[in-house]
Amino acid sequence: MLPNFFDSMVQLITRTSTDLPPDVRAAMGTALATEAPQTRAGQALTIIAQNIDQAESCEGPICQDTGMPTFEIKVPVGANQIWMKQQIRNAIAEATRRGKLRPNSVDSITGENSGDNLGPGTPIVHFEQWEKNEIEVKLILKGGGCENTNAQYALPTDLDHLGRADRTLDGVRKCILHAVWKAQGKGCSPGAVGVCVGGDRTSGYLHAKEQLFRTLDDTNPDPRLAAIEDAVMDAANQLTVGPMGFGGKASLIGCKIGALNRLPASFFVSVAYDCWAFRRLGVTLDAQSGAIASWLYRDADRRSTPMLTPEQLAAGFPRTGREIRLEAPISEAQIRSLKVGDVVLVSGKMFTGRDAVHAHLMKHDPPVDLHGAVLYHCGPVVVKEGDGTWRITAAGPTTSIREEPYQAEILRRYGVRIVIGKGGMGAKTLAGLKESGAVYLNGVGGAAQFYARCISRVTGVSLLEFGTPEAMWHLEVADFPAIVTMDAHGNSLHKDIEAESGERLHTVGG
Ligand code: SF4
């Protein structure tokens, strides 16, 4: 029975996680060209470009959040789908063991991580039969940060800055623009949106996600939808949300719209937002052996080309000479001297902590002294070496807003001076930073390979019982770059960009 099927699936998963497809590289290359290199946006995109090339060359995950694996499979009539699904599950476990996927499947009741990316609902596998005598397998890895920015609208509705969205294609256009604006940098912009017009709440989201299997540069066969796609791309890239929500010209790299019939009483617009780390690939397989016959999205005409020249890659991110060096532990005076927009290079000790650690610290003392410390919102991919030591293979920042209910209290209680994450935080944390003398630094979301190279060593780990992504890792870092986006004086770049882009939304989208 299909002796090569398992190996083909491991290859597909590995390559999807580590090697961005040519159409996404081309779109990111265009985005890079639109931003001046020494702006915040330009620096962020250069780090992303380096990260893409680094991931491919070391076959490491492009982003540490390797997402929810979703397979769309077409099989000849009579193919054994039960067996294939089991082989896919085995391949997912194997790719996780090899560090190509982060253990990402968590029991929703107990919070326990299964450790192998298997569990009820994980991975997602959809089969469809077709008349061809070959198998087609497409895979998308879509992470939590962008998944959390998905949006669904029931028309008619009133939208901030855009007014009423009616049950028309213009109403659809407004909803998509609203979703892009609302996402700001939280989904690691510049991203792409898959959209479904119609369906019900469930089929709408599914069809929206399926649009992400289209190449970013294709043309919608329905001219009415093609026109909306163009209009959204044009307006979205005038919003000045920019890469990571830092401000800039590149906010969206793709808009793909499909439509399903709906009930007369319902009119949903479902938006699936995917980040710049748009990991989607596919293969066709020989129906007798299961061996890979061809790769989708990367055929002979569309070879993967590096984002940067070897010299650009070696040069690192473009420094301006104004970067501020900080070494942990950090004093309150150093923190109060920083202001929004400063680019800092952090060295010394750093501790990771995300959802489970923050909830834990609300009820228990920290396992380490956090006075003057740097707390990194990060769930890394970690591999245990044969000699028992730990190696971090991917370590970009995770979405910080999830820690909003806890962050200010943790700053106050334990003396943390720097919080690093992505997407920014809210008013409660902003007030907490001012009160406690701390800053929030925005890293470049998804730049997991780039940041893994800033980690000189892992010196320890606490709370490993939460699973490797949720544990508190003790790291030594050198020249870890990030931007002050919330300072200790009540200023927030996120708040400013949201307000400015809201005004632009009114102008270009209304
Ligand atoms: S690039 Fe950002 S949004 Fe995308 S998976 Fe990574 S952390 Fe999540």
Of 65, 68, 246, 378, best ligand 1 pocket probe by most atoms within 8 Å of the beta carbon: 65
Distance between CA 212 and CA 234 in Å, rounded?
19
pLDDT reading at 301 higher than 70:
no
CB 152 within 8 A of CB 127: no
Q: How confident is the model at residue 302 (pLDDT cuts 50, 70, 90)?
A: low
Residue 322 buriedness (CB in 10 A; 0-12 / 13-18 / 19+): exposed
Is the CB of 62 within 6 Å of ligand 1? Answer: no
pLDDT in tens, 452-462: 999 999 999 99
Q: How far apart, in whole angstroms, are the C-alpha atoms of residue 105 and residue 478?
A: 31
Peptide bond into 243 cis (omega under 30): no
Instruction: For ligand 1, say whether the CB of 145 is within 6 Å of any of its atoms.
Output: yes
Cα(285) to centroid(ligand 1), Å: 29
CA distance 398 to 425: 12
The answer to whether 139 and 8 are in contact (CB under 8 A) is no
The response to whether residue 443 sits with its C-beta less than 6 Å from ligand 1 reads: no
> Which residue would you say has higher pLDDT here, 298 or 247?
247
Pairing status of strand 343-352 against strand 374-376? parallel
Is the peptide bond prior to 329 cis by the omega test (within 30 degrees of 0)?
A: yes
Q: Are 449 and 428 in contact (CB under 8 A)?
A: no
Locate all alpha helices (DSSP H) within 187-267, ordered by sequence: 201-210, 223-236
CA distance 498 to 180: 11
Q: How many CA atoms lie within 13 A of 372 on its CB side?
A: 12
Question: How many A from CA of 405 to the centre of ligand 1?
Answer: 21
Tell me, using a 6 A CB cutoff, whether residue 446 lines ligand 1.
yes
Judged against a pLDDT cut of 90, whether residue 27 lies above it is answered with: yes
Alpha carbons within 13 angstroms on the beta-carbon side of residue 164 total 4
pLDDT at 304: 76
Give the number of the atom of ligand 1 that is nearest the alpha carbon of residue 66.
5
Instruction: Report, as an integer, the average pLDDT of 206-230.
Output: 98
Cα torsion angle, 460, 465, 468, 472, sign: negative
pLDDT of 26 over the 90 cut: yes
Q: How far is the CA of 398 from the centre of ligand 1 (A)?
A: 7
Name which of 393, 472, 327 is nearest 51 in CA terms: 393
The model's confidence at residue 320, banded by pLDDT at 50, 70 and 90, is confident
Closest CA to 61 of 98, 26, 91, 90: 98
pLDDT digits (tens, 9 = 90+) for 364-391: 999 999 999 999 999 999 988 889 899 9
Q: Is the CB of 277 under 6 A from ligand 1?
A: yes
Please work out whether the CB of residue 445 comes within 6 Å of at least one atom of ligand 1.
yes
Q: What are the helix (H) ranges across 273-331?
A: 310-315
Residues 6+ apart with CB under 8 A from 472: 351, 352, 353, 357, 367, 368, 461, 462, 463
Pocket of ligand 1 contains residue 55 by CB under 6 Å: no
**Best mutation site among 48, 63, 442 for ligand 1, i.e. most ligand atoms within 8 A of its Cβ?**
63
* Beta strand 157-159 pairing with 151-154: unpaired
Task: Find out whether the beta carbon of 67 lies less than 6 Å from any atom of ligand 1.
Answer: yes
Going by alpha carbons, the residue nearest to atom 7 of ligand 1 is 446
Ligand 1 atom at minimum distance from 397 CA: 7
Of the chain, the percentage scoring pLDDT greater than 90 comes to 94
What's the pLDDT at 34?
96
Q: Tell how far the Cα of 101 is from the centroid of ligand 1, in angstroms.
A: 13
pLDDT tens track for 243-261: 999 999 999 999 999 999 9
47 CA distance to ligand 1 middle (Å): 14
- Look up tokens 């890394």; give the residue: 380
Burial of 51 (0-12, 13-18, 19+ CB in 10 A): buried
Crossing angle (nearest 10°) for helices 5-18 and 81-97: 50
pTM reported for the whole predicted model: 0.95
